[in-house]
Amino acid sequence: MKTDNKFSMTVLSRSTNESFIRSVVATFAAQLDPTVEEISDIKTAVSEAVTNCIVHAYKDSIGKIYITCEISNNLLTVKIRDKGVGIENITKAMEPLYTTAGDERAGLGFAVMQSFMDGIKVRSKLGSGTTVVLRKNISVRYGTARE
Ligand SMILES: Nc1ncnc2c1ncn2[C@@H]1O[C@H](COP(=O)(O)OP(=O)(O)OP(=O)(O)O)[C@@H](O)[C@H]1O
Ligand SMILES: [Mg+2]
């Protein structure tokens, strides 16, 4: 598939970088002329994925988060990868309300990513890390006012 545009970046898993990554991805996605709602969906999903790297993957440490963003035609693909603890059972982890963080978290991150994006793929290996791939189709509307 032809790639129209792409960027990659690596950041440390510091909580301040959650809003930083979210803004960078949103700014990159802006070239597709998304609606306010589409941008908001992307920001929310990216936040959830990055927060998971910070609070779960590198729970008691600081590690690297690898982000790759690609635009091909009207499809935005965001890949968020960590080399943290990994997920033992992905199917279970993606169930709404499932969390390993007790009362601290709601267990809704993956459910949010699923509902706000058009596609999500998760790969993980215990002890090696996790990759989350998020996809969003940005609608094309010619000659209509944008929100
Ligand atoms: N990058 C990751 N590395 C390791 N474990 C992860 C990662 N992402 C998710 N998990 C595991 O999957 C579970 C479910 O994740 P999800 O984002 O749905 O909920 P949560 O993070 O526990 O709560 P919330 O997102 O509502 O704050 C987590 O509790 C954690 O055990
Ligand atoms: Mg989460």
Q: What's the CATH number where 105 sits?
A: 3.30.565.10
Task: Say which amino acid occupies 14.
Answer: R
Please say if 22 is a catalytic residue. Answer: no
- What's the rounded Cα separation, in Å, for the pair 12 and 66? 9
For 119-143, how does the pLDDT look when each residue is reduced to its tens digit (9 = 90+)? 999 999 999 999 999 999 998 877 6
For 31-67, how does the pLDDT look when each residue is reduced to its tens digit (9 = 90+)? 999 999 999 999 999 999 999 999 999 999 999 999 9
- What's the rounded Cα separation, in Å, for the pair 43 and 134? 11
| Cβ of 57 less than 6 Å from ligand 1 | yes
Q: How many domains does the chain have?
A: 1
The SS3 assignment for 87 reads coil
* Residues 6+ positions from 142 with CB-CB distance below 8 Å: none
Evaluate whether residue 45 is within a structural domain: yes
The token pair that represents 52 in the structure block: 């998971």
Please say if 73 is a catalytic residue. Answer: no
CB 81 within 8 A of CB 9: no
- What's the rounded Cα separation, in Å, for the pair 117 and 31? 18
| Cβ of 66 less than 6 Å from ligand 1 | no
The token pair that represents 20 in the structure block: 């930083």
Evaluate whether residue 147 is within a structural domain: no
Evaluate whether residue 68 is within a structural domain: yes
Active-site option among 105, 123, 135, 137: 105
Evaluate whether residue 146 is within a structural domain: no
Residue with tokens 């070239």: 31
CA-nearest of 84, 85, 111, 83 to 97 is 111
Task: Say which amino acid occupies 72.
Answer: S
| Cβ of 58 less than 6 Å from ligand 1 | no
What stretches of 38-99 adopt beta strand conformation (E)? Answer: 64-72, 75-82
Which 8-state DSSP code applies to residue 104? G
Domain that holds residue 9: 5-137
Q: What is the number of the ligand closest to the CA of 107?
A: 1
What separation in Å is there between the alpha carbon of 123 and the centre of ligand 1?
Answer: 13
| Cβ of 63 less than 6 Å from ligand 1 | no
pLDDT of residue 147: 52
pLDDT of residue 144: 57
Q: Is the dihedral of CA 65, 108, 133, 22 positive or negative?
A: negative
